[in-house]
Chains A and B, each alone.
Chain A
């Protein structure tokens, strides 16, 4: 039925491209979504600018790169910082294009859901050149397997180790630590517990954070000063690892160096509090800011039953009646608002202005304000400022885009989901560009 096809395109994807609702209706909405759940649907585009994290890190000036910061001339430094910003800009542009053009929009949304769950924000030049690679290397290959594997990949990625400072964390009783120059940094440990896995509801204590930091200590990146033969490579440096057995959330982790962190991640990934948290987060992302308990319970049970198999989790979501309720409860984030506009009126219309648009609406690409990532609640994205910026941008984009027939656009983009009020107002607006802008600013388009 075509209502479900329109819901599949909008609520689970980035909005309908012309002809898509009809095509999805033919394939069957659920079937179309389930078929997307395979890693080959989210492989990154090939592009000479998209390079592995390690390669990019070696080009940096500083401890992880081949060149030291202090030895560089002022011009070299300036050139380098210009280049790292340019790389980030290009990464954002290519990612926008991929979001608009993808034929597996549900799978792409899942990628970005997890990238946001494991937020790395481009605060420094080293992060600017590796955040894009983080999504390609740690997220995309792992979102259809087990959460444990995804957690490992994200935890031990260059960008995460740098962003949350684990790369510089040293166990006080390790051989490096005894020389006394550096100590434990508990930043990564705290976020691993609070944001990436069990969450506050698990009732972890400051001791749990400290013990976690000890277990993670030693996971670092070779620098020009330490582990130089492994320059730019993620390694477990036993000389920085806090020796001994450690207890986290009442579970004992034996003293076996490198394996200790893997055992901790296994245990956290399968913790009941993690199941509950991820179930709630996924339901809140796709269905409603405060999702129905029945849906959360079902997702939680699926996660526990399959021991964290993510494909099974997504399948449970697709097969849940709550996910197909015609009432549109979610507000699109600025990113999804911009991408779905591109799917509706063409990528060329939005590409040039997309980065400015996202910054003005409060969601600059790759720059979430904290490790918590972007919020997933409508009232955050519908601030008075953000609302006016959406309207300003849409009016400008539509006035510059190639002309569209408003009636056809409504049918293509919203199909059976369009409300009589929107239909009537759009059709009676005489200026076609204005009519298209109103259609794409209507509640029917801003919600999903």
Chain B
């Protein structure tokens, strides 16, 4: 299949999948060339990131509460506002100083339980009730932003995409087995010609694999770091350009640090940081119209536990990056770490709302109709407080 055909398949997918007449595409493609489309990347950090170890307040009480988890101030990367980031987050720190990164501390979803699954389900749906937790928030976003398309990196569609058609929100993953030879793909393209579902799916799959240039190698023996970087890179490649996906998502797991958390957390944060940098590179100029949000289902306990780790908590930290962010600052409120200010006397107090922030970014950045958003899911009602985030 030549480049022109895969390009067409890719645009066709982005323009609405199977059934769209090819004839309208030439003009549509020409029209979108010049417009820079706002993009949003949602990174789901599964397991409960330790927000206080990631973005640490310059407060001596931190050492008292978590003596073996707190990295000395001299090693932390200072943000100049009473907070410093973990030394693994070098790219984040640099971006912050350039005004392209920021954070919200003490934020949480409405979920107040302690189960990972329960918390993750709420983060991907913002529904407090089991019954409606089968519809991800992307379904609601898609109603408020006509034509938006989502892509998840991974072998299946996340809960986030539930309630949308497969041509609105797809998934794409690195090869598990050796990537197939072009001669087989060519033969199948011919064989599928009369089967609309198979031929469209194959054409789109081939266009994805050609766009994600790292597809060709099996990653079975790769280190986690290399795989993380490659996932972010692939996401950027498929989102880049005015014909790329507008919403991208991927999840990273392993943040559930109950014991001896210091070095595994440092390693994972470094992987995340390297991944974000790779995303910036692969998005190219589109980094300027992008906002990246990285957040967990909940935070961790303020005090360290008996095994030099931390347990499931309530509020945590949200990291934000991108050229479309008015960065270089902390957004929202900070409740402090005094015992009387803690939630249930053990957790960072949830003073900032994750769903409110996302709702605001949906409308201010992606142009979602706030009334449609609020109507379909009250949790996604934005708030004036967050409007200043978007540049």
**Interface of A with B (CB < 8 Å)?**
74, 123, 186-187, 190, 194, 209, 331, 353, 356-357, 359-362, 364, 369-370, 372, 378-380, 382-389, 391-393, 395-396, 421-422, 425, 429, 434, 437-438, 441-443, 446-447
Decide: B176 and A392 in contact? CB cutoff 8 A. yes
Cα–Cα, bound, A98→B117 (Å): 31
Inter-chain contact A362/B155, CB cutoff 8 Å: yes
Q: Are A443 and B192 in contact (CB under 8 A)?
A: yes
Question: What are 18 A-B pairs with beta-carbon distances under 8 A?
Answer: A74-B259, A353-B177, A356-B176, A379-B167, A384-B13, A385-B172, A385-B173, A386-B201, A387-B202, A389-B155, A389-B177, A391-B184, A395-B184, A425-B190, A429-B187, A434-B187, A442-B188, A447-B195
Give the docked Cα–Cα distance between A58 and B198 (Å).
Answer: 47
Q: Is B339 an interface residue (CB 8 A)?
A: no
B20 located at the interface, meaning its Cβ lies under 8 Å from any Cβ of chain A in the complex? no
Asked whether, in the complex, the Cβ of A383 is within 8 Å of the Cβ of B155, the reply is no
Chain A residues closer than 8 Å to B155, beta-carbon distance: 359-362, 364, 385, 389
Q: Tell me if A392 and B191 are in contact (CB < 8 A).
A: no
Q: Can you list the 10 inter-chain pairs with the closest CB atoms, starting with the nearest?
A: A384-B205, A360-B176, A384-B204, A388-B205, A362-B156, A387-B201, A396-B177, A392-B177, A382-B201, A443-B195
Q: Are A383 and B157 within 8 A (Cβ)? A: yes
Cβ-defined contact, A369 with B197, below 8 A: no
Cα distance A89–B117 in the bound complex, in angstroms: 21
Q: Which residues of A contact B201 (CB under 8 A)?
A: 382-384, 386-387
**A392 near B156: Cβ-Cβ < 8 Å:** no
Query: When each residue 147-168 of chain B gets 1 if its CB lies under 8 Å from chain A and 0 otherwise, what string results?
Result: 0000000011101001001110
Nearest CB on B from A265, distance (A) = 21
The answer to whether residues A387 and B185 also contact, given A392-B179, A421-B191 and a CB cut-off of 8 A, is no
Which residue of A190, A387, A421 contacts B198 across the interface (Cβ within 8 Å)? A387
- Which residues on the A side are within 8 Å of B184 (C-beta)? 391, 395, 434, 437-438, 441
Closest A-chain residue to B179, C-beta based? A392
User: Cα distance A357–B166 when bound, in Å?
Assistant: 21
Chain A interface SS verdict (over half)? helix
| Docked pose: A187 CA to B195 CA in angstroms | 41
Q: With the chains together, A396 CA to B184 CA distance in Å?
A: 12
Could you say which residues of chain B place their CB within 8 Å of the CB of A446? 198
B349 interface residue per 8 A CB criterion: no
The answer to whether A380 touches B130 (Cβ under 8 A) is no
CA distance A388 to B307 in the complex (A): 45
Are B205 and A385 within 8 A (Cβ)? yes
What residues of B have a CB within 8 angstroms of the CB of A331 in the complex?
197
CB distance from B68 to the nearest CB of A (A): 16
Q: Decide yes or no: A123 and B185 within 8 Å by CB, A372-B134, A385-B172, A392-B175 being known contacts.
A: no
B117 with A378: CB separation less than 8 A: no
CB distance from B327 to the nearest CB of A (A): 33
B3 at the interface (CB under 8 A from A): no
Specify which chain B residues have a CB less than 8 angstroms from the CB of A383 in the assembled complex. Answer: 157, 166, 170-171, 201
* Cα–Cα, bound, A336→B209 (Å): 25
How many chain B residues touch the partner (CB < 8 A)?
46
B180: CB under 8 A from chain A?
yes
- State whether A385 touches B208 (Cβ < 8 A): yes
| Residues of chain A with a CB closer than 8 A to B177's CB | 353, 356-357, 360, 389, 392-393, 395-396
Is A123 a contact partner of B180 (Cβ separation < 8 A)?
Answer: no
B166–A438 CB distance below 8 A: no
Q: Contacts A388-B180, A443-B191 known; list 9 others, CB within 8 Å.
A: A190-B130, A357-B177, A362-B156, A370-B134, A392-B177, A392-B180, A395-B180, A396-B177, A421-B194
Q: Measured between alpha carbons, how far is A443 from B197 in the docked complex, in Å?
A: 10
* B226 adjacent to chain A (CB < 8 Å): no
Closest to B204 in A: A384
- Most chain A CB within a 10 A radius of its CB, from B157, B181, B191: B191
Q: Is the CB of B197 within 8 A of A391?
A: no
- Cβ distance A205 to chain B, nearest Cβ, rounded Å: 11
Whether, in the assembled complex, B178 has its beta carbon less than 8 Å from a beta carbon of chain A, the answer is: yes
Residue pair A190, B180 in contact (C-beta under 8 Å): no
Residue pair B180, A382 in contact (C-beta under 8 Å): no
Chain B residues lying within 8 Å of A434, measured Cβ to Cβ, are 181, 183-184, 187
Within 328-382 of B, Cβ neighbours of A (below 8 Å) are at none
Nearest CB of chain A from residue B210's CB, rounded to whole Å: 11
By the criterion CB–CB under 8 Å, are A385 and B188 in contact? no
Across-interface contacts of A123 in B (CB, < 8 A): 117
Query: In the complex, what distance in Å separates the CA atom of A393 from the CA atom of B130?
Result: 36
Contacts known (A356-B176, A395-B181, A395-B184); A442 close to B191, Cβ less than 8 A: yes
CB of B287, distance to nearest CB on chain A (Å)? 25
A434–B192 Cα distance when bound, in Å, is 16
Cβ-defined contact, B173 with A360, below 8 A:
yes
- Asked whether B159 lies within 8 Å of A369 as measured between CB atoms, the reply is yes
How many Å from the CB of A288 to the closest CB on chain B? 13
B31 contacts the other chain (CB 8 A): no
List, in ascending order, chain B residues with CB within 8 A of A387's CB: 198, 201-202, 205
Q: Is B384 an interface residue (CB 8 A)?
A: no
Q: Determine how close the nearest CB of chain A comes to the CB of B120; give it in whole angstroms.
A: 11
In chain B between 280 and 314, which residues have their CB closer than 8 angstroms to a CB of chain A? Answer: 307
B21 beta carbon closer than 8 Å to chain A: no
Q: Is the beta-carbon distance between A380 and B166 smaller than 8 angstroms?
A: yes
Question: CA separation between A123 and B159, bound complex, in Å?
Answer: 15
Q: Which residues of B contact A353 (CB under 8 A)?
A: 177
User: B30 contacts the other chain (Cβ, under 8 Å)?
Assistant: no
Interface: B131 (CB within 8 A): yes
Chain A residue at minimum C-beta to C-beta distance from B193: A421
CB <8 Å contact, A438 and B191: yes
Residue in contact with B191 in the complex, picked from A364, A386, A422, CB distance below 8 Å: A422
Would you call A392 and B131 a contact (CB within 8 A)? no
A384 contact set on B, CB distance < 8 A: 13, 170, 172, 201-202, 204-205, 207-208
Q: Closest Cβ of chain B: how far from A200's Cβ, in Å?
A: 10
Q: Compute how far the CA of A383 lies from the CA of B190 in the bound complex, rounded to whole angstroms.
A: 19
Residues of B within 8 A of A392 (CB): 175-180
Minimum CB distance partner of B171 in chain A: A385
**Once the chains are docked, how many angstroms separate the CA of A244 from the CA of B56?**
54
Q: Evaluate contact between A443 and B156: CB separation under 8 angstroms.
A: no
Chain A residues lying within 8 Å of B194, measured Cβ to Cβ, are 421, 443
Query: Which residues of A have CB within 8 Å of B204?
Result: 384
Q: How distant is A183 from chain B, measured CB to nearest CB, in Å? A: 13
Q: Report the separation of the CA atoms of residues A369 and B160 in the bound assembly, to the nearest whole angstrom.
A: 12
How far apart sit A388 and B208, CA to CA, in the bound complex (Å)?
10
A447 to B130, CA, bound (A): 35
- Nearest B residue to A446 by beta-carbon distance? B198
By the criterion CB–CB under 8 Å, are A438 and B187 in contact? Answer: yes
Contact residues in B for A429 (Cβ distance below 8 Å): 187
A425 to B180, CA, bound (A): 18
Output the least CB separation between B234 and chain A (Å).
11
